[in-house]
């Protein structure tokens, strides 16, 4: 019987700590700034707005180091392309880019001005930055050919970001030409820029409304779900909810949710619905893992919710393996299959010519209207015997007939608990039942502190 995470295959119920695993891809290494803003900076009772490519950059007063003048205006560089390179002394990718920027500054000095920018949100004091430039000279034997803006908040408000290096390029006319990352600032792109051509730089638009206290992508926190690859959640009982839900997200993801299910139900889904007579509990009290929980107090202690978001083309086996790993890692019980020598009942066919084949053309495998009998019509013998095991509460029936011929048979469910009675029903078909032991693949549910049996 194929087990799927699809809604149509779920027939049983399922199950402390909230787990959220989210995987996203992002191109290029970035360093987070120390204290990203959640509001726009303010200075002298004036609020500043985020700028985009094509916007005019207002006048800004700049406090400088590594410069002959301690204070300058942004307009002092009018007539040149200005590269604003937001950085921090803790950002190795930023510092690795300095030699290139220095070479560009020296080569295109008449057309270009590089300005490093240290914001107040990076929490680096002016003295520390001054020491950095002194140490840089000692290591490299030469000074950097461009100044550094310090204690900035206004440029940050015009070009807000959550990671560095972060680069904004302003035209000689004071127009924003690019907002990008350092890797896009190549000589080839700069030459295009200086020739007033499209530099072809990919935009870097950091998300500024991301709340790290909330789950990533929750209600748009950090963006939408287009970049979501995979996510699972495991929670305790959630009052007022229940059932199983299956949804398609943005056309490329599916979400399956199991609400307030017992532990056994969750493990049943994850491990392919092992029959009860092939499940072994190694627990102090197995009752709390079943479906039969009747009081709110029991629900709060022993019911769980599980949700998985994953690509539509994911094989069921891959999704189920991920669910197995989550349950085993975060619940106080773990499940696995292992082979054990078990008492069972073998079904054999001593004389194959005595087997009574099906005379029906229509395939039927169902219970009658009262749920008392199993009806098999034109059903392969091996499938029928699997159903007998699945519907039996305690007896394991093993098919050793070696044939796949179809059979027509009606078997009362109550006789599945009595192999002798079942033997009488199957005898006219040439089938024989005998008690023995065999290595059986069993599903083991074991409390993490329990002693193995």
pLDDT tens per residue, range 160-198: 988 899 999 999 999 999 999 999 999 999 999 999 888
pLDDT tens per residue, range 277-323: 899 999 888 888 876 677 888 888 889 999 999 999 999 999 999 99
Task: For the chain, give every domain's residue range.
Answer: 7-24+216-331, 31-194, 341-447
pLDDT at 285: 84
pLDDT at 103 over 90: yes
Share of the chain above pLDDT 90, in %: 53
pLDDT at 116 over 80: yes
Among the listed residues 310, 308, 321, 306, the one whose alpha carbon sits nearest the alpha carbon of residue 263 = 306
Quickly count: other Cβ atoms within 10 Å of residue 435's Cβ.
11
Instruction: Please give the residue that has the higher pLDDT: either 233 or 215.
Output: 233
Q: How far apart (Å, rounded) are the C-alpha atoms in residues 300 and 15?
A: 11
Among the listed residues 248, 373, 260, 374, the one whose alpha carbon sits nearest the alpha carbon of residue 312 = 248
Among the listed residues 81, 114, 118, the one whose alpha carbon sits nearest the alpha carbon of residue 99 = 114
pLDDT at 14: 34
pLDDT tens per residue, range 7-52: 333 333 333 333 333 333 333 456 655 444 333 343 443 446 889 9
- For range 53-80, the mean pLDDT: 93
Which helix (H) or strand (E) element contains residue 253?
Answer: strand 253-262
**pTM for the structure as a whole:** 0.64
Just give the CATH number of 31-194.
Answer: 3.40.30.10
pLDDT at 257 over 50: yes
| Chain-centroid distance, C-alpha 153 | 36
Share of the chain above pLDDT 70, in %: 88
């Amino acid at each position: 019987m194929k087990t799927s995470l699809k809604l149509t295959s779920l027939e049983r119920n399922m199950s402390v700590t909230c787990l959220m695993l989210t995987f996203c891809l992002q191109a290029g290494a970035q360093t987070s700034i120390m204290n990203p803003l959640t509001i726009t900076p303010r200075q002298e009772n004036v609020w500043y707005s985020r700028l985009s490519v094509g916007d005019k950059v207002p006048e800004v007063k700049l406090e400088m180091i590594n410069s002959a003048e301690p204070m300058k205006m942004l307009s002092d560089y009018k007539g040149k392309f200005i590269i604003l390179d937001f950085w921090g002394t803790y950002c190795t990718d930023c510092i690795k880019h300095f030699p290139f920027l220095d070479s560009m500054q020296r080569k295109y000095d008449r057309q270009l001005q590089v300005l490093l920018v240290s914001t107040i949100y990076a929490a680096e004091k002016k003295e520390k930055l001054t020491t950095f430039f002194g140490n840089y000279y000692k290591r490299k034997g030469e000074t950097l050919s461009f100044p550094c803006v310090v204690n900035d908040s206004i440029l940050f408000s015009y070009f807000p970001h959550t990671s560095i290096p972060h680069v904004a390029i302003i035209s000689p006319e004071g127009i924003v030409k690019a907002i990008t990352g350092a890797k896009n600032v190549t000589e080839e792109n700069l030459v295009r820029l200086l020739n007033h051509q499209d530099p072809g730089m990919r935009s870097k638009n950091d998300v500024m409304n991301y709340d790290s206290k909330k789950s990533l992508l929750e209600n748009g926190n950090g963006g939408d779900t287009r970049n979501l690859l995979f996510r699972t959640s495991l929670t305790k009982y959630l009052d007022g909810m229940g059932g199983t839900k299956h949804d398609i997200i943005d056309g490329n993801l599916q979400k399956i949710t199991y609400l307030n299910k017992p532990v056994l139900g969750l493990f049943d889904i994850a491990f392919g619905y092992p029959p009860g007579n092939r499940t072994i509990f190694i627990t102090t009290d197995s009752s709390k893992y079943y479906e039969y929980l009747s009081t709110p107090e029991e629900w709060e202690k022993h019911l769980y919710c599980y949700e998985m978001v994953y690509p539509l083309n994911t094989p069921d086996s891959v999704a189920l393996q991920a669910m197995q790993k989550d349950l085993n890692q975060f619940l106080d019980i773990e499940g696995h299959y292992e082979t054990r020598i078990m008492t069972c009942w073998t079904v054999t066919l001593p004389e194959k010519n005595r087997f009574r084949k099906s005379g029906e053309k229509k395939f039927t495998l169902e219970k009658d209207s009262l749920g008392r009998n199993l009806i098999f019509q034109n059903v392969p013998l091996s499938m029928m015997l699997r159903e007998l095991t699945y519907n039996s509460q305690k007896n394991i029936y093993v098919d050793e007939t070696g044939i796949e011929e179809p059979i027509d048979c009606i078997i009362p469910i109550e006789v599945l608990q009595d192999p002798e009675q079942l033997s009488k029903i199957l005898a006219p078909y040439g089938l024989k039942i005998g008690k023995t032991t065999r290595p059986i693949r069993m599903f083991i549910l074991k409390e993490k502190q329990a002693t193995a049996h």
